[in-house]
Structure 1
Amino acid sequence: MRLSQKFTTPPGRDRKNWTEPPFWQLDHLRRTWETSSNGRERIENDFPGYVQHAYKTNGVIFSCILVRQLVFAEARFAWREISDGGRPGDLFGSPELGLLAKPWPTGTTGELLARMESDVSLAGNFYATTVDKAGRVGRAATGPGRRIVRMSPDRVTIVIGSESGDPDALDAQVIGFDYQPRDGEPVALLADEVSHYSPIPDPQARWRGMSWLSPVLEEIAADKAATLHKRRFFENGAVPSLVVTFDKDVQPERFERFRAAMDARHRGALNAYKTLFLGGGADAKTIGTDFQQLDLKGVQGHGETRIAAAAGVPPVIVGLSEGLAAATYSNYAQARRRFADGTIRPLWRMAAASLQTLILPPSELASLWYDDRDIPFLREDRRDVAEIQARQASTIRQLVDAGYEASTVVASVAAEDFSLLRHTGLFSVQLQRPNTTQPQGAPFEQEDL
């Protein structure tokens, strides 16, 4: 089916729930939006299940997400202009950034980033759009009280369309997002009205993201099982399991009375280590293994490390047991740098690009970027930057003293491209006197030295 039919409001859907720009020229996209049955992508995992059974009930998962949140939420946003040579320029601000500085009446940039990280970790996707006091959403929200509103990832559907009518065709693209509130009619938004942040792509989808929890679900289950094992161990006496045997002639009633009495006196952590008295032909034997024999610490520690690896957080940063050894803890600085450079900075870059959908750049060459200059966690990185700048300053001084044009020296050092250098034709006073030119190949005389 080709996209040529004009859109008509479907039964049960009010046109006021659609956000329309002043000039609507995408009727064919709307037609695809309503008639496509498989041109949609939703998050694959059970978002409430991940929240309830992983984030809120597993200390390792909570700790990994918390560490990511606390560092990720420290950044600020600024504009960065790209020069004609393709090099990024200095950071600068503009009034448009106020929406990110105060995304909603009681919100801050840090809270916005924290919610972005939470949704991405648990659902693989973060969605947001803008609204104003008049109830307009998306591009139509231009009135007073304009703010950013988070869209629950499990209520958003990515709508895909193509000129050929096949959402799997090569010309397919995201044409919008369909948001289904808990109560009420769906709200449809165009692609340029929604900030979609999905740093980990799902290989089985074209535009949907994937939670980093998905590959380690078995590790999470094993960690919860180990925690339950410890709990049961203490609940049942804090000792290995016992088997009590009786003579074959013991009556069932007597057996039940003995079992009830033994559970009452010896079951539970508060009854641990009490002396066990047996009579009437009863015989107790120890079975199973204790924590030392099972090496529960090592087994559970390996699982925690695998979970932290999926989160992109070194165990020593989270405070996990395998990361707290003396030899490992001495490498905290390297672990911090790996976390910052390998996890957080790529996430900041992608988050800035996705949020730029919601605000208007001050110029065509400006793009939204993150400002990490005042983050305590990265303070040692600032020292490295200072050392690099000191070396660059020394290089600039040497090149200027050698007679190169100062403007080209700065540009070449910043671009790391010495082909940009231009020489003035003048040399340092150590080579010849000012305002004089030594003929090429002429020998130096004693009076010239």
Structure 2
Amino acid sequence: MRFLDRIAAVHGARKSFTQSPFWADERLSLPMLASLPARPDREVIEHDLAGYIQGAYKDNGIVFGCILTRQLIFSEARFLWQQMAGGRPGDLFGAASLAPLERPWPGGTTGELLARMEVTASLAGSYYSTFCDAEGVLGKASDPGSRRIVHMDPARTQIVIKAPSGNPYGLDAYPAGYLYEPPAAVGVTAPKATMLLADEVCHYSPIPDPAARWRGMSWLTPILREITADKAATRHKGKFFENGGSPKLTVALKDVTDPDEFEAFVELMRSQHEGVDNAYRTLFLAGGADVTTTGADLKQLDFKATQGAGETRIALAAGVPAVVLGISEGLAGSSLNTGNFRAAARLMADRTLRPLWRMACASWEQLVTPPREDVRLWFDPDIAFLREDQRDAADIQQIKAQTIRTYVDAGYTPDSAVAAVDADDRSLLVHTGLYSVQLTAPGTAAPVPAPPEEG
């Protein structure tokens, strides 16, 4: 019988003297699927929302940083109405009908509303809310004078599907409403489920779930393994320092054959050389003991690059460039150049933020009705993060102004020149019949246009 087998026999079972890889720690895994049974006429979020909140948002700095960065910029927007002329966007203006979004609840602001939308949609994939008045009436039947916006827990909200054919999988199926089942409270009669029609709920789902028809998907779902690995790497780094900030050692006892002596030696070694308090102490051995380094330090593991690559993959799923997020791979080399940072910020604005604002505006039009048919709900682009876009817009306006001036100098009416430039349609140009002096032959007068007909 081998020496280690004899040691295991003393304790009644074989012991493992090797630690599993830090990336294989099952305790760091996240809940994947929700426990709610699937119904063909219902759609619910597919994962455990509480698991995402506790296991990712509150327990992983990179995930929290990504959501916080998105939230802080996303919440800077303000809602306005925008005039639409010929299918093209026009002037922005405010109105009293925007009051529910400006003061969504007592003491609430538009920024807090948008922040709640971003956090909820990132974790659950969908955000739901409706109106409630002072009497507890919900939806569009609520009193406009005392309306406030109330959030609906995505884990307790079901999308109710109906179809004239009776088949919820048929092509004629559509989301008819939303069923909300509030949790029970101690000492209170079990609440009843609330059914709201589709036009009484703001449903914001920026990332569609390809496995469903109307619900959204959290951007965390595709990167659960990355989050698990990042948490495991952080835990591994902590254990490295807890155990003395040095590589793992293997101690071979050549002259010790008695199991009790072996156990006593192991306990002595652990008490004197494991843990932060015992770090860097001088190691004294006797009796033929031999020490061998079997592990690698953080530099040998290239730990920064390993964990940094995982952080970048999480940031990519969030739509937040590494340089904007401020993680390690975004704070090195040419990434810090002003031009590169501006390019990254512009990418985030165009690829992530503008689509989110556009979808948020469309979602709120379910509850906040536009004052006219030629008006849509939009956002004010006067946001600090979009200043580079504003400078580009100013350059475009300057080019348009030069184009209008060229048309007018060529003899076109000022009004038609403006209309043609705004619509990008030269067929709208109307000529006055007058020409620039450079187009008139010497000694001749420019033609005089006929007076307009009366009547």
TM range (shorter): 0.7 to 0.9
Contact 2:323 2:329 in 1 (8 A): yes
Which segments of 5 or more consecutive residues in structure 2 lack a partner in the other structure?
1-37, 185-190, 449-455
**Which deviates further from its counterpart, 271-280 or 314-323?**
271-280
- Please give the alpha-carbon distance, in whole angstroms, between the structure 2 residues aligned to 1:285 and 1:158: 61
- Please give the alpha-carbon distance, in whole angstroms, between the structure 2 residues aligned to 1:195 and 1:350: 11
- 1:78 aligns to 2:80 (yes or no): yes
Task: Specify whether residues 146 and 418 from structure 1 end up closer, same or farther in structure 2 by C-alpha distance, changes over 3 A only.
Answer: same
User: Where do 1:35-434 residues align within 5 Å?
Assistant: 37-83=39-85, 85-183=86-184, 184-247=191-254, 249-330=256-337, 331-373=340-382, 375-432=383-440
TM-score computed with the length of structure 2 as normaliser: 0.85
- Please give the alpha-carbon distance, in whole angstroms, between the structure 2 residues aligned to 1:218 and 1:434: 83
- Please give the alpha-carbon distance, in whole angstroms, between the structure 2 residues aligned to 1:141 and 1:288: 66
Aligned to 2:35: none
Structure 2 counterpart SS, 1:54: helix
How much identity, in percent, do the aligned residues show? 56
Structure 1 position 121, deviation (Å): 0.7
Instruction: Detail structure 1 runs of 4+ shifted over 4 Å in the superposition.
Output: none
- Please give the alpha-carbon distance, in whole angstroms, between the structure 2 residues aligned to 1:122 and 1:242: 42
- CA deviations on 1:269-324 (whole Å, 9 max, x unpaired) are 23222111112332221102111211111111111111111111100000111111
- Please give the alpha-carbon distance, in whole angstroms, between the structure 2 residues aligned to 1:263 and 1:116: 51
Supply the AA of the counterpart residue of 2:251: V
Structure 1 position 127, deviation (Å): 0.4
Contact 2:434 2:447 in 1 (8 A): no
Structure 1 position 37, deviation (Å): 4.8
Structure 1 position 254, deviation (Å): 2.6
Supply the AA of the counterpart residue of 2:300: Q
Which segments of 5 or more consecutive residues in structure 1 lack a partner in the other structure?
1-35, 440-449
- Please give the alpha-carbon distance, in whole angstroms, between the structure 2 residues aligned to 1:249 and 1:82: 88
Task: Specify whether residues 290 and 249 from structure 1 end up closer, same or farther in structure 2 by C-alpha distance, changes over 3 A only.
Answer: closer
Contact 2:162 2:175 in 1 (8 A): yes
- Please give the alpha-carbon distance, in whole angstroms, between the structure 2 residues aligned to 1:243 and 1:416: 76
Structure 1 position 417, deviation (Å): 1.8
Structure 2 counterpart SS, 1:196: strand
Structure 1 position 148, deviation (Å): 0.5
Contact 2:319 2:348 in 1 (8 A): yes
- CA deviations on 1:329-365 (whole Å, 9 max, x unpaired) are 2100000000001100000000000011111211111
Supply the AA of the counterpart residue of 1:409: A
- Please give the alpha-carbon distance, in whole angstroms, between the structure 2 residues aligned to 1:106 and 1:276: 63
Contact 1:103 1:109 in 2 (8 A): yes
Structure 1 position 367, deviation (Å): 1.0
**Which deviates further from its counterpart, 100-109 or 289-298?**
289-298
- CA deviations on 1:217-271 (whole Å, 9 max, x unpaired) are 1111111111111011111111111111213544333322322222222111232
Structure 1 position 415, deviation (Å): 1.6
How many residues end up aligned between the 2 structures? 402
Task: Specify whether residues 434 and 211 from structure 1 end up closer, same or farther in structure 2 by C-alpha distance, changes over 3 A only.
Answer: farther
